[in-house]
Amino acid sequence: MKISHPDLLINVTCTVQNPISSNSTTSSVKALCAVPTNSPAQASSLSYCQAKGLVRLLVLGMLITGIMAVHIMASKQPKRE
């Protein structure tokens, strides 16, 4: 993919401010629109967000399994009179 437009040579500055601090960064439009090229090793690895999502999914599955096990065990116990 080739991007060739005169506006791609423009630099863009993004500034974030809050009552305590301020930060800004400058980048070219060409760099922002560039398609990243991943090596095969990088393409197969999980990103941080994907790994965090999988961990959360596993924890949620374990919690649901535990809750179901407790309810099943409680329903099989003989009832007290």
Q: pLDDT tens per residue, the chain (81 residues)? A: 455 556 667 787 788 888 888 888 888 776 766 666 665 555 556 777 888 888 999 999 999 999 999 988 888 877 776
* Tokens coding 36: 């990243």
Using the Cα atoms of residue 4, residue 5, residue 6 and residue 8 in order, give the sign of their dihedral. Answer: negative
> For residue 7, what are the contacts with CB-CB under 8 A and spacing of at least 6?
29
Note whether 15 and 23 are within 8 A (CB): yes
Secondary structure of residue 35 in the 3-state scheme: coil
What is the predicted pLDDT for the residue at 1? 45
What is the predicted pLDDT for the residue at 18? 84
Supply the pTM of this predicted model. Answer: 0.40
For the chain, domain boundaries: 1-34, 44-81
